[in-house]
Chain A
């Protein structure tokens, strides 16, 4: 994955390795529109079930928001970032996406050779079997609908995060208040609030203290059945370190001093 403009020309693994939540942004440095477009394109091109439009977004330039609107979108947990980050991407999930989009998109994919006879796909199957089942399932099972919408949107959001990192930007996800956001942005009722992605140039170093602690691979992932940890090899781990997917873990030794200095620069509580 290579960036454009001021992108850093990183390989995919390094982009994954460098991604971490950035919580301090340079409030005065705008983000180039091309970079915002790149982030949205990465989301648009993400994998998605039924090729349906689950992930939706409202992109906002912080300085274009009316003060009252900015205030209504502010929560105690986002109050710092909402003011610091020049670009906000309010991510929503379209709860009607699958039922609405799957049938025509599936037929389109049959026509263009994506879904094929070899795998059992025909217009007849879509019209007479898949469509009624999909509509019925999604209109009668709110949990299923929320689960699929959240998962599919999350895939797109994840690519948006990686694209921001690839463009040399800082980014993070945070919560936002749904009802006030509905009022401010006028979104359809069937959109559900997910996350706001803050985007800007980092005021902290890109390391942001180091790669976040994660349990070992085998604790999270299983092989064959639950309880049998997936076992990686030291050789593969060494290669991933060399390729910068696995990086120095937090805390880096100078992190506390960095946080204090950045907080002081921005007038945030230091201690």
Chain B
């Protein structure tokens, strides 16, 4: 499925944002698609659908859909608990998904991991 989602608009935006703003190479970015795919399977949504549920078009730009953002913030936390790995690894996987939302314009913060 990773190959399937690679060409979606929101994944392309994510990969471009990773490269432009954070200096993450395309190859490194592509390695994260497996995690996003895993998340998409959990929520049973395609990447573009996830972003659509968090943003809506308004005159002159986009507006956050608070309900959608809240839902996916909670889903990411749930995902973090379910994925394999130690606490740090779980958080990192969750952060990959947060990064996907953030680079698509969905402002999202999380609490520190202590």
Q: Which residues of A contact B (CB under 8 A)?
A: 27-28, 76-81, 83-84, 256, 260, 266-271
Contacts and interface: CB of A to CB of B under 8 A. Distances in A.
Given A267-B88, A269-B98, A80 B107 contact: no
30 contacts: A27-B112, A27-B114, A28-B114, A76-B64, A76-B69, A76-B107, A76-B108, A77-B107, A77-B109, A78-B109, A79-B110, A79-B111, A80-B110, A81-B109, A84-B111, A84-B112, A256-B23, A260-B22, A266-B113, A267-B95, A267-B114, A268-B95, A269-B95, A269-B98, A269-B110, A270-B22, A270-B95, A271-B21, A271-B22, A271-B24
A80 B18 contact: no
A83 B88 CA distance: 18
A65 to B, nearest CB: 13
Given A80-B112, A267-B91, A269-B110, 6 more contacts: A76-B107, A84-B112, A256-B22, A266-B113, A267-B114, A269-B95
Interface of A is mostly: loop
| Chain B: interface size category | 20 to 34
Contacts, number: 53
B24 A83 contact: no
Nearest to B113: A267
B12 interface: no
B69 to A, nearest CB: 6
Contacts of A76: 64, 69, 73, 107-109
Contacts of A256: 22-23
A85 to B, nearest CB: 10
A266 B107 contact: no
